[in-house]
Structure 1
Amino acid sequence: MIEDMLRTPAAVQDSERHTAHNYHPLPVVITSAEGAWVTDVDGNRYLDCLAGYSALNFGHRHPTLVAAAHAQLDRLTLTSRAFIHDQFADFCRELAALCGKDLVLPMNTGAEAVETGIKVARKWGYQVKGVPAGQANIVVAEGNFHGRTTTIVSFSTDSDARADFGPYTPGFRIVPYGDLAALTEAIDEHTVAVLLEPIQGEQGVVVPPEGYLPGVRRLCTERDVLFIADEIQSGLGRTGATFACEQEGVVPDMYLLGKALGGGIVPVSAVAADADVLGVLKPGQHGSTFGGNPLACAVATEVVRLLATGEFQRRSAALGERLHAGLRGLIGKGLVAVRGRGLWAGLDIDPALMSGRQACERLMERGVLAKDTHGSTIRLAPPLVITEEEIDHAVAQLTAVLAG
């Protein structure tokens, strides 16, 4: 009887019985995982080509990260920031070095990092730039996804994320993504920051036009405006570099990090910037009970050390070329377009053929997990530990799905 209740249909129904329906997951119930593979309650194995929206860049249960978590669990898990713990300094110092910044402010979730970035930018605007009180504005892009808090959805253009959650937070100006002229027009003397994803993930892995990010950097410098790069999905090796901005030769004033920083084990996020920016915060003005906790720092320090070797960035770049070459071969054979960098791809399926959801359901039946977004688009973001053979397998299964 107990064994029967564990089987997929019953487990799917049970998981939804007492859960708010804010997600529409694929009907698979995962019970274990390792590397790039997960196993469901029926013993079926699937190649994970979503990697927790890039939170699992280093794969499931990476041995170095799991060992760090186990060791820290036996010692200390939380002090709050009221006290200092012995994992904190190493994490902050090594992450700051990875980012090339002076200071780090640890938080928990990506949305918290974005909220922190907004608060810091406004405070910098008032205290450093001299913007009159209450008049700061931040320029953002259409199609953005920075989280789902009430402030963040106030400048979302996704009706699902935004509708019926008002009243909305003022102080944001929305311009088309990739349009430097529109951005130039939107900035005025009260603008304190431009907040952008170097590659828009939720929108379908949308890469901006060549020269756009360098243009944003120049404009922000000229107009005394902070350039805030939301690298929560695009950063930490995903695109073939530590940060997606690097591939355009751009250094923002502030990095917003998360997802992969916690190694798929604990939620960890951070804001990284120089002292003339993050230094505007004083004790009591911002914080988090769990932000920078010992367990999070122990795991995240090992994540930073994995990235410091450059191995995962090189793997993403090389394997990404193989992935994109295979996907481009399907254009005109069910795919309309392929976008992305490194081990990150957005695929537009011919809507006359099937929806993105249908494609993901059929891929699941063939042992590959992916996620749809915005109708006929699906995203592929496999762990950076994936092999050439596994990439070829994923492309082969997609080929079969598109062929019907």
Structure 2
Amino acid sequence: MSNTIALERKWCANNYHPLPIVLVKGLGAEVWDEDGRRYIDMMGCYSAVSFGHSHPRIVKALTEQAGRLAVVSRAYHTRPLGRFLERACRMTGMDGALPMNTGAEAVETALKAARKWAYTVKKVPPGQARVISAAGNFHGRTIAIVGMSTVGQYRDGFGPYPGGFVSVPFGDADALERAITPDTAAFLVEPIQGEGGIIVPPPGYLARCRDICTARNVLLIADEVQTGLGRTGRVLACEHDGVRPDAVTLGKALGGGMLPVSLFLARRDVIDVFRPGDHGSTFGGNPLAAAVGFEALGVLEDERLSQRAADLGTWLMERLHSLASPLIQDIRGRGLFIGIEFDPARIGANDVCLGLAARGVLTKDTHRNTIRFAPPLVISRDQLAEAVEALRLVLDERMAA
């Protein structure tokens, strides 16, 4: 066993099960381990490295800002924040934003905003506001958020949970309509469920949800922490259904693969429910994060990475379907956000990941015996072809066994 792995196992809580690989360097869509072996990164750190490892523009923005001013708290104004929020709002069509650090914090901010909006704008009776979420969701790991989860492992041993949350089946707009009451504040939904297994809802689902929420005066909040910022071939995955949500959560890719940066963005009457002292974060909106977030959004726009994800995603989906392996049960996704589900009676998704790693391709499994192909959006077609060929070899080897 590597000394690095042994040291981590001795001192780190056992809350992850990483592959037995020690990474020391990354560039673009490739990473290298401590023995100098090169791998293609087909996971992209759950979309946090959408713009590639060590992108030179983002590294430059990070180092230059770190040399000037990094963290001072929101007790003062700083130059990078305003232009960062302006760019983010213009790109997403939102009226204002509240900066945080992690995706889970952005979702918690969304929940607080929805409840306060319900009481101050919609006039829901005090203490009665409800938020609807979709079964199979993954919005983060806080107590409130796992209280909304329908996944046993996320919940077991961590209750009791706050009330005021209701779950409906994902992809079922009729179920959403039935669940809404006069006390409903918001519907929080991932346009594509990531950790749930890259689950794509039926065509028109989000558009129907938009119409229902508008008719019933309910906020539609899109959790785009994984799906946003080019991942599915659009800046926001909601755009595939022509939907403009009332609020959006962003994170992961927003930090340019460098540090945690997240935002809650919303229309004016929602963002304006916050008053000084209502909510905050010591690190949220710090100059370093704002400079990196601003540059990350610039890279997304200047390098046309949304279009690149759309084009490469179509090509990758065709190549994966051409494998025609009986071990594959389903291939689904949009852009460079693709899940490959395997027959659990014949091969485990984790075994596929280990086989891929042995052939120089890295990813991890998720729910429904599925692996994800969600690489940095800067990946080349040749690198994608190499990953598909590695998958073919893994599956052929299992079939021959």
CA RMSD, aligned part only? 1.0
- Relative to 1, partners in 2 of residues 1:40 and 1:310: Cα closer, same or farther, differing over 3 Å? closer
Q: Does 1:184 align with 2:177?
A: yes
Answer yes or no: is the 8 Å Cα contact 2:103–2:262 preserved in 1. yes
Distance 2:391 2:336 in 1: 16
Distance 1:269 1:110 in 2: 6
How far the C-alpha of 1:138 sits from its partner, in A, is: 0.6
Among 194, 202, 212, the alignment partner of 2:195 is 202
Residue equivalent to 1:233: 226
Distance 1:370 1:134 in 2: 43
Residue equivalent to 1:110: 103
Residue equivalent to 2:321: 328
Aligned-pair identity in percent equals 50
Which runs of 5 or more residues in structure 2 are unaligned?
Answer: none
Answer yes or no: is the 8 Å Cα contact 1:98–1:308 preserved in 2. no
Q: Does 1:84 align with 2:77?
A: yes
Residue equivalent to 1:252: 245
Distance 1:377 1:291 in 2: 34
Q: Which amino acid aligns with 1:349?
A: F
How far the C-alpha of 1:353 sits from its partner, in A, is: 2.4
How far the C-alpha of 1:383 sits from its partner, in A, is: 0.4
Q: Which amino acid aligns with 2:223?
A: D
Question: Structure 1 length normalisation: TM-score?
Answer: 0.97
Residue equivalent to 2:139: 146
Residue equivalent to 2:381: 388
Residue equivalent to 1:175: 168
How far the C-alpha of 1:375 sits from its partner, in A, is: 5.2
Distance 1:38 1:82 in 2: 39
Answer yes or no: is the 8 Å Cα contact 2:46–2:374 preserved in 1. yes
Residue equivalent to 2:367: 374
Q: Does 1:93 align with 2:86?
A: yes
Q: Does 1:63 align with 2:39?
A: no
How far the C-alpha of 1:304 sits from its partner, in A, is: 1.5
Distance 1:18 1:390 in 2: 36
Residue equivalent to 2:3: 10
SS of residue in 1 equivalent to 2:70: coil
Distance 1:330 1:194 in 2: 38
Distance 1:390 1:341 in 2: 19
Matches within 5 A, 1:200-349: 200-309=193-302, 311-349=304-342
1:307-335 Cα distance to aligned partner (Å, 9 max, x none): 23361011100100111111112344321
Answer yes or no: is the 8 Å Cα contact 2:325–2:395 preserved in 1. no
Distance 1:27 1:45 in 2: 15
Residue equivalent to 1:5: none
Distance 2:324 2:142 in 1: 37
Answer yes or no: is the 8 Å Cα contact 2:134–2:168 preserved in 1. yes
Answer yes or no: is the 8 Å Cα contact 2:197–2:368 preserved in 1. no
Distance 2:29 2:323 in 1: 23
Q: Does 1:20 align with 2:4?
A: no
Question: Structure 2 length normalisation: TM-score?
Answer: 0.98
1:348-393 Cα distance to aligned partner (Å, 9 max, x none): 1121221111110110000000110125211111000100101110
Runs (4+) off by over 4 Å: none
Matches within 5 A, 1:121-132: 121-132=114-125
- Relative to 1, partners in 2 of residues 1:11 and 1:375: Cα closer, same or farther, differing over 3 Å? farther
How far the C-alpha of 1:13 sits from its partner, in A, is: 1.9
Distance 1:319 1:282 in 2: 44
Distance 1:298 1:248 in 2: 31
Distance 1:121 1:330 in 2: 45
How far the C-alpha of 1:11 sits from its partner, in A, is: 2.0
Distance 1:133 1:316 in 2: 45
Q: Which amino acid aligns with 1:146?
A: H
Distance 1:354 1:335 in 2: 9
SS of residue in 1 equivalent to 2:339: strand
How far the C-alpha of 1:191 sits from its partner, in A, is: 0.1
Q: Which amino acid aligns with 1:379?
A: R
SS of residue in 2 equivalent to 1:106: strand
How far the C-alpha of 1:101 sits from its partner, in A, is: 1.3
Distance 1:314 1:298 in 2: 24
